[in-house]
A and B are shown apart, each in its own frame.
Chain A
Amino acid sequence: MRLLLAALCFIIVTGVSSSYAAEPLFLDKASIEHDTTWSGTVILRGQNVVKKGATLTIMPGTVIKFVWIDDDGDNIGDGELNIEGHIMARGTKDNMITFTSAQPEPKMKDWTFLMISVNRDSVIEYCVFEYAFTGVQVHYSTATIKNNLIRHNFEGIRFSTTDVDIEHNDIVDNTYGMRYESRGSRTSVTNNTFRDNQYGFFPVQKCTSTVKIKDNNITSANYNVNMGENQRDDLDYTSNWWGTVEPDAVAAGMFDKGKDETLGRVIYEPYLKEPVKGCGIQ
């Protein structure tokens, strides 16, 4: 059965389909064109897309595994899920949805990403994203990303030109916790825990303070904020907890104009003098 399905490259999912059976659902470069519900185990290979007009609903406890392939030879697994339509991935605190690698010994970059682009009101709640290049990317869209565990990825979350509420997530042990280009984004990043990432935030270029980043607990292995080389404007990062009350230690965690005069400044004062209570998954 799996061999037959695997042979169907660019399979077109044309009906309302579900995977309630014990057998995993295997999709290879699928194009999902109608409302679809996933539960149980779903195994994805290559680039899969939820087309405009279709809604993908994922039930609590569903495990989505991405098969390792690397046709383009960039050492990043090609597995990805592109949401051009709509996604409702709502797990529960006790029964989270998991997006992960299908490798027996998973590692960072085993799959590419879940990417939401050019759509409205997608929901990602109580999900685990692990071993991806980017756990979740959001571009040109509105969405809610709340109460998720995002770990062991190269980038936890990446967004550009979005209006997204990113709150109460645990974003831990990624190379970059959050990479973004604001481009007028009205995204709000609040009450998240950023812990043990190499870099907490990576504003790549041309970002402005339209992105609200407040009331987060942020402690990183290297820099808490690492400005990209074309980030010339100052950015507002006030009212966050940086893991210390020592001004020099907080300043040391910022890669900005203080270390490269061509960059803007990370405006972090006033900063919080103690961790925010209730940050992270609730």
Chain B
Amino acid sequence: MRFVPILTALFLLAFAGASFADDTAKLVNAAPQGIGFEGRVVWQGQVLSGARIYAYKDFDDLLKCSPAAVSGPTADDGTYRMDVPAGKYYLVVKKRAAGADDGPLAEGDMFSFHGSNPITVAQGAYTHVGFPTLKQPAKMTYEDSNEPGSGSIAGVVTYQGEPLAGINVTLYLDPKGDFKGMGYSAAPPTGKSGSFRVDFLPESDYYVIARKRANGANAGPLNDGDYFGYYAWNPVTIKAGKVAKVAFEVMSKAGEIGKEDSMFRNTGTKIAGRILDKDGKVVKGVYAFAYEDKVMGHKRPSFISREVDGNGNYVINLASGGVYYIGARSAYGDSPGLGEWYGRYDVTPDHSVVVKDGQRVDGIDMVVEKILP
């Protein structure tokens, strides 16, 4: 099993006298005050007090229960605020019967893995991140199958106890991709019964993720009204000749989670410019994208702007300085399609822009054209 309670305990003993004071947030690394996360934690529409937010620098730390920072308990109104250094974090909410220290969850504990993980904390501000939570379900069980050479996973997706249709359940082998892309395998969307099943899986550990976007898209940020689920007992061990039976409750990204996506928060490090068509006209509904990989258009960008304003202007807020490859599109996710507006920053050969921490680079203008109209 990937949870390592003994190592975790030793790790925690090394800091701050073995445990956290009940009402104070713990920071493994000192963080400048005024930078961090804030928001509200809810359970089935009611505020949840006494929960803690655990911020991990990478996914391995999450598996090892070794957080970089932990909030104090959420207040009576479910709110929290925690200071962390600028950067990206995997955020998890836990309310464990076993206590405040990080550790494995038990059935009945409260839990949430945020659907936008990893989340970038903006410099000079508190990034708003709200959480719905779930009760940790009973652990998965295994039943015999008729396929001795491979394993299966099957279950029912529910929302507040009711079967949920139209959910896409995807299996990932490697969590380091942040559960983006196609995954190793996927079940067809659930029907009215909420049931899903994936067969012929090689023996391995799989991370099981569920999503349903109200707009029908297969990629892109989750919006209010979308559903998301990170199976609480991830990773699921698939065994040959067995069906792993799981009960999979998902969460709805509702208004109380936070209307501001952290991607749009003011970070102080920015790339800005204007997007026009080849006739110099403003194109409604296009966005600017910043990629950290020079191969643009086929992968998710790291940062996006809001839709251009009435004059075609855009601003991309970046988590930090660096080299970014800049493009513009009228959709998010997947490769650009026929008739979509598309363009790239054309002044540098590889479409790159260099920006320093805290710098705003203006004049990164682009011309977009329709793909094979």
Contact = CB atoms under 8 A, between A and B. Distances in A.
Interface of A: 10, 29-31, 47, 49, 51-52, 117-118, 139-142, 160-163, 181, 183-185, 205-206, 228-230, 232, 260-262
Nearest to A260: B200
Interface residues of B, number: 25
Question: Which of B298, B337, B349 has the most A CB atoms < 10 Å from its CB?
Answer: B349
Given A118-B369, A260-B200, A161 B185 contact: no
Given A118-B371, A139-B297, A140-B342, A160 B335 contact: yes
Contacts of A232: 188
A254 to B, nearest CB: 16
B217 to A, nearest CB: 12
Given A47-B350, A49-B349, A142 B187 contact: no
B29 to A, nearest CB: 29
B346 A161 contact: no
B345 to A, nearest CB: 12
A175 B218 CA distance: 28
Nearest to A140: B371
Contacts of A162: 372
Contact of A184 (B184, B200, B337): B337
B349 A47 contact: yes
B176 to A, nearest CB: 15
Interface of B: 182-188, 198-200, 294, 297-298, 334-338, 342, 346, 349-350, 369, 371-372
A211 to B, nearest CB: 12
Contacts of A230: 182, 186
* Chain A at the B interface: SS class: loop
A52 B342 CA distance: 14
* Chain B at the A interface: SS class: loop
A118 B342 contact: yes
A161 B334 CA distance: 11
Contacts of B371: 118, 140, 161
Contact of A142 (B185, B349, B372): B372
Question: Which of A140, A142, A232 has the most B CB atoms < 10 Å from its CB?
Answer: A140
Contacts of B199: 261
Contacts of A142: 372
Contact of B198 (A52, A163, A262): A262
B335 A161 contact: yes
Question: Which of A118, A141, A163 has the most B CB atoms < 10 Å from its CB?
Answer: A118
18 contacts: A29-B349, A31-B349, A47-B350, A52-B346, A118-B369, A139-B297, A140-B371, A141-B372, A162-B372, A183-B334, A183-B336, A206-B334, A228-B182, A229-B183, A229-B184, A229-B186, A230-B186, A261-B199
B294 A262 contact: no
Given A118-B369, A229-B185, A140 B346 contact: no
B294 A47 contact: yes
B338 A161 contact: yes
A184 B338 contact: yes
A162 B372 CA distance: 7
Nearest to B294: A47
A49 B350 contact: yes
Contact of A181 (B183, B185, B335): B335
A163 B372 contact: yes
A63 to B, nearest CB: 24
A249 B335 CA distance: 35
A97 to B, nearest CB: 23
Nearest to B293: A72
Contacts of B297: 117, 139-140
Contacts of A140: 297, 336, 342, 371-372
Nearest to A162: B372
